[in-house]
Amino acid sequence: MGQAWVRNAWYVAGWAHELGSDAVIARTIIGEPLVLYRQDDGTPVVLQDRCCHRLAPLSMGRREGDNLRCMYHGFKFSPEGRCIEIPGQPKIPPKAVVRRYPAVESGSWLWVWMGDPALADPTQIAPTISLKDPAYRMKAGQLDYDANYILIDDNLLDLSHLSFAHENTLGRGMPQWAQERPRISRLERGLRVERWIQNRATPPYMQQKLGDTFDNFIAYDFLFPGLFLLRAYFYPAGTAQRVNLEAPNEPPLFQRCDDQAVTPVDARRSRYFYAAGARAQDIEWPQVEKMYGITETAFHEDKALIEAQQKMIDRDPEHPMVLATADAAPTQFRRMVQQWLDAEQPTPGAQRIA
Ligand code: FES
Ligand SMILES: [Fe+2]
């Protein structure tokens, strides 16, 4: 049985800067080949990457103004996916169409709606930080995974792994990640995960602001299919106790930001987009580079583990897992994904999420 996908969702197809004004690029999302280009005014267009004529990829074609021409026999398509020209033939068959997917540029990502176009609502796209926003300094990257996206989601929903998988990078000297349980609350399309980490050692470049140790309130929204929008707020040591470990509502001395998105390519491949940085008032570019470097090293640690985990799962797909309390968020999220999948399927429960 092939993997079933939740279709009615906005998926990140790429960084906006990957799609230049004349570029025509191929992407695969939830197993479907897509072609991306821009209209003259910059509006992104996403069509099925398969010419309706003899099924050549349209991503091997060329942009002509707002339209896209297949460079096999020259059929030309409008941004709506309608064939508007067949060389040497005045009449165009009504069936000469390719599927159009609603597409939007928001923040610094290109988003594509893989489900029923009538349900596509761009106001549902989560706000993310634009790389061009002068209020922030963020550095961006991406990583390809040979693994199902849900394993990467599990990883991001359970940061207890920082103390071990990242013992030399993001979790260095921080057993608290594994020892303390976050507060989890439900959102419409995912979960919010919040925790205090008290008495962290301050990195040298922040010591002037924060002293030797600080309290860190770390909160992220995790939204389908794999959006991870984290803000880490840095406060003077003692703040966590003073606010009784509740969410603080005083301005932080420093704020780190991480916007990430996991996009399923197919059942065994995923693409991971990420940006890391802080408010511009808090940080200079050399520190952003350093922070990003550590973060990216950590992402390679995750990738090595998760790809190996995927191989182990594939040796014996039915083998049970013994879950711990730290699995609360990934377990809840998987249940939500199953519910969204069931809601889109004629026979609920017949399809599995991974
Ligand atoms: S395959 Fe595209 S025009 Fe023939
Ligand atoms: Fe990780």
What are 19-69's pLDDT values in tens digits? 999 999 999 999 999 999 999 999 999 999 999 999 999 999 999 999 999
CB within 8 A of 217, min separation 6: which ones?
Answer: 194, 195, 196, 232, 233, 235, 240, 247, 248, 252
Q: Which of ligand 1's atoms lies nearest the C-alpha of 51?
A: 2
CA angle 335, 340, 341 (to 5 degrees): 95
Indicate if ligand 1 lies below 6 Å from the C-beta of 205: no
Instruction: Say if residues 264 and 30 touch (Cβ distance below 8 Å).
Output: yes
pLDDT in tens, 129-171: 999 999 999 999 999 999 999 999 999 999 999 999 999 999 9
- pLDDT score of 13 more than 80: yes
Query: Please, where are the H alpha helices in 213-326?
Result: 239-242, 285-315
**Ligand nearest to the backbone CA of 143:** 2
pLDDT in tens, 216-266: 999 999 999 999 999 999 999 999 999 999 999 999 999 999 999 999 999
Q: Which residue out of 48, 49, 54, 98 has the highest number of ligand 1 atoms within 8 Å of its CB and is therefore the one to mutate?
A: 54
Give the strands of the sheet with 100-101, arranged side by side: 25-29, 32-38, 44-48, 100-101
Q: Is 56 in the pocket of ligand 1 (CB under 6 A)?
A: yes
List the 76-77 sheet strands across, edge first.
62-64, 67-69, 76-77, 83-85
Q: How far is the CA of 24 from the centre of ligand 1 (A)?
A: 16
Tell me the percentage of the chain whose pLDDT exceeds 90: 94
Testing ligand 1's pocket by substitution, the residue of 53, 64, 86 carrying the most ligand atoms inside 8 A of its CB is: 53
Whose C-alpha lies nearest to ligand 1, atom 3? 73
Query: In the numeric block, which tokens belong to residue 96?
Result: 């000469």
- Taking alpha carbons only, the member of 219, 221, 154 closest to residue 186 is 221
**CB 35 near ligand 1, within 6 Å:** no
- Determine whether the shortest distance from the Cβ of 72 to ligand 1 is under 6 A: yes
Does residue 53 have its Cβ closer than 6 Å to ligand 1? yes
**3-state secondary structure at position 161:** helix
Structure tokens at 24: 């025509």
Reduced to 3 states (helix: H, G, I; strand: E, B; else coil), residue 231 is: strand
Residues 6+ apart with CB under 8 A from 107: 127, 128, 129, 130, 259
Q: Is the pTM of this model over 0.85?
A: yes
Sheet hosting strand 10-15, strand order edge to edge: 10-15, 109-113, 103-106
